[in-house]
Structure 1
Amino acid sequence: MRAAPVAPLPARAGLGFKPQHLDELLADDDPPAFVEVHAENYMGAGGAAHVWLDEIRQHMPLSLHGVGLSIGAEAPLDETHLDRLARLIERHRPQVFSEHLAWSTHDGRFLSDLLPLRYDLDTLDRVCRHVDRVQERLGLRMLLENPSTYFEFAASTIDEAEFIARVVQRTGCGLLLDVNNVYVSCHNASCQSRRRDPLAYIAALPLGAVGEIHLAGHAEERVDEHDLLLIDRHGAPVAAAVWTLYAQVLRQTGPVPTLIEWDHDVPAYARLRAEARQADRALAAAGSALTERAA
């Protein structure tokens, strides 16, 4: 049975929930607008994890982010995994569910990475079938996240942003726009002599379908004396160049719910809130600019 509709996420900044921050989060007089959790961490039938979510859900909206559906895999979706997701959504009623445009399973085995796709018509058909099935089973509109890219398939015949736009158009799903992923992917393409402008990439996306934005820090890995490879590691503050790109995105989209992701070397709660407040300032500026243009 489909869960009753819930209100959308507020167009302000949220945080990825970390259990060590629970007490500070609940005691915060100026809390984040929402929290996001990884679905696969909450698929057990009981335990402390569900108690945490029950308590958080009484205070603020929830976004559920999947990392294990393997939307791009050649095999059909794992229906057992989908059933677990459906039960989790029915239990905690998140405002948003999102997943990655990637694959992470093969021959019945789960891999620990979100792996890239070859962008062609066969892959497009397969991804659209999988997105349709997810939305049918869960009874909601999912958001699909653009990936971070470290190499591209020579056999691809569709540009990544165009591929995403086609999936959104055919399935009616929404877009989770990860601004750091855009910056990382475009930089890494340039390292491989395939110049890609982040603003042109963003302009090719269906920005009207953006339901949430992700911001995160990235790491640098030296390839040679000239080039740096950027890694979407979620273990550092958001880079200045990504903040700039984010502000440029907001000029086109207006304020959109925005998550600060920080999953490795997690700092103190106050440091995360500082990042979220910086996002809130950018969101407020975008809202003011939108109001001025409409006047």
Structure 2
Amino acid sequence: MPELPPSAARPGLPRRAGVGLKAEHYRTILASRPDIGFFEVHAENYMGAGGPPHRFLSAIRESYPLSVHGVGLSIGADRPLDRDHLRRLKELVARYAPGLVSEHLAWSSHDCGFLDDLLPVPYTARSLARVADHIDQVQEALGRQILLENPSTYLAFEESTYAETDFIAAVARRTGCGLLLDVNNVYVASVNQQWNPFAYIDAYPLAAVQQIHLAGHAQEADEKNRPLLIDTHDRHVADIVWALFARVLAKTGPVPTLIEWDANVPAWPVLQAEAERADTAIRAAARPAAMRHQPAEAHTT
């Protein structure tokens, strides 16, 4: 497979908002060249050798930075990594030279094969050793750092001996990986497990965060009629998630931020408007703290 020339490689991503690249928007993007910070693709959608997906992605990659987000490595699985999957990921990364590569703190494979979900891991010393070993293998194979994303969860394991934030911090320390903070995942898990999402943000190892995800969620009810949030990625980002995002940026400053909208994909202007809202928040975070909190001057005539 052809690789991009060295001049096309872009280290990191701009500290702006990006969006997930969807087939529905290929032609609009190429025709209008919108002002978007970057595009992100799911690795597994581009693991074939050629065809229209690669043709459009190659054309878009010529003009925009790219990030690659994997959903199939099964980092948390209690089994060896799939070496063929890792090989194909390595080829994809070499082909497009993305600014960032990320995966999930989750598992999706077992002896029965691949499962159509991202399942949580218990936060134990055994899980920590396994996850760290898998990340080491991935980073060695790719010859670069990857980012690890916090999960959206619906329950907690009784056997866990680490808080999630402490577990993720320990993984980052052991492996040198970066972190992808999915703010919607934080809120979904906080409601489902009844804890404070702002306290979670305050405890998170934010110094290792190199990318942020924002997405929409749906609300249902459990058997006791309590709110149950589902990480659907099929609607606008909720106001409370925007508030949590502001809390993160106040601590980190500007960070590349992705709008995830993977189902019921809207028309391009709707998606671009969400990205523009994120860009506004990122620009505000770039101003010195004194300017962010300074009241507007009164105008006199």
* Map of 1:261 onto structure 2: 260
Q: How does 1:92-103 map to 2 (within 5 A)?
A: 92-103=96-107
How far residue 291 of structure 1 moved from its aligned partner, in angstroms, is 7.3
| Match 2:22 to one of 18, 23, 47 | 18
Quote the Cα distance in structure 2 between the aligned partners of 1:291 and 1:185.
34
Q: Which moved more, 1:28-37 or 1:79-88?
A: 28-37
Q: Is the 8 A contact 1:254 1:290 kept in 2?
A: no
Which residue of the partner structure matches residue 88 of structure 2?
Answer: 84
Q: What is the aligned partner in structure 2 of residue 247 from structure 1?
A: 246
| Aligned residue pair count | 287
Q: CA deviation at 1:243?
A: 0.5
Query: TM-score, structure 2 length as denominator?
Result: 0.92
Cα drift, residue 205 of structure 1: 1.8
For residue 151 of structure 1, what is the aligned residue in structure 2? Answer: 155
**Residue in 1 aligned with 2:192?**
188
Which of 61, 66, 69 matches 1:65? Answer: 69
Distance in 2 (CA, whole Å) between partners of 1:259 and 1:74 is 30
Distance 2:75 2:224 in 1: 37
* Partner residue of 2:143 out of 139, 144, 149: 139
Report the alpha carbon displacement of residue 226 of structure 1 after superposing the two structures with TM: 4.4
Could you list the per-position Cα deviations for residues 31-75 of structure 1 after superposition, in whole angstroms to 9, with x for gaps in the alignment? 211000000000011111111111011110000000000000010
Offset, 1:221: 1.0
Aligned to 2:205: 206
Which structure 1 residue ranges, 5 or more long, are not aligned? Answer: 191-195
Work out the CA distance in 2 between the residues paired with 1:167 and 1:138: 18
Q: Is the 8 A contact 1:165 1:204 kept in 2?
A: no
Q: What residue in structure 1 maps to residue 126 of structure 2?
A: 122
SS of 2:228 mapped into structure 1: strand
Shift of 1:26: 2.1
Task: Sort the Cα spacing of 1:227 and 1:289 in 2 relative to 1 into closer, same or farther, 3 A.
Answer: farther
Helix, strand or coil: the match of 2:114?
strand
1:161 corresponds, among 162, 165, 168, to: 165
Structure-1 residue corresponding to 2:298: none
The CA RMSD measured in Å over matched residues stands at 1.6
Matched to 1:118, the amino acid is P
Q: What is the distance in 1 between the residues matched to 2:236 and 2:31?
A: 24
User: How far, CA to CA, are the matches of 2:282 and 2:184 in structure 1?
Assistant: 17
Q: Identical aligned pairs, as a percentage?
A: 56
Q: What's the counterpart of residue 111 of structure 1?
A: 115
Aligned equivalents of 2:224, 2:147: Cα separation in 1: 39
Provide, for residues 165-209 of structure 1, a one-character-per-residue CA deviation record: whole Å limited to 9, x for no partner.
00001100000000000011111111xxxxx21122122221111
Q: How far apart in 2 are the matches of 1:243 and 1:218? A: 13
Partner of 1:193: none
Q: SS of the residue aligned with 1:98? A: strand
Distance 2:289 2:283 in 1: 10
The 1-side partners of 2:14 and 2:30 are apart by: 18
Alignment TM-score, normalising by the size of structure 1: 0.94
One-letter amino acid of the structure 2 residue matched with residue 97 of structure 1: V
Residues 27 and 234 of structure 1: CA distance in aligned 2, closer, same or farther (over 3 Å): same
Q: State the distance in 2 between where 1:259 and 1:6 align.
A: 17
Matched ranges for 1:23-34 at <5 A: 23-34=27-38
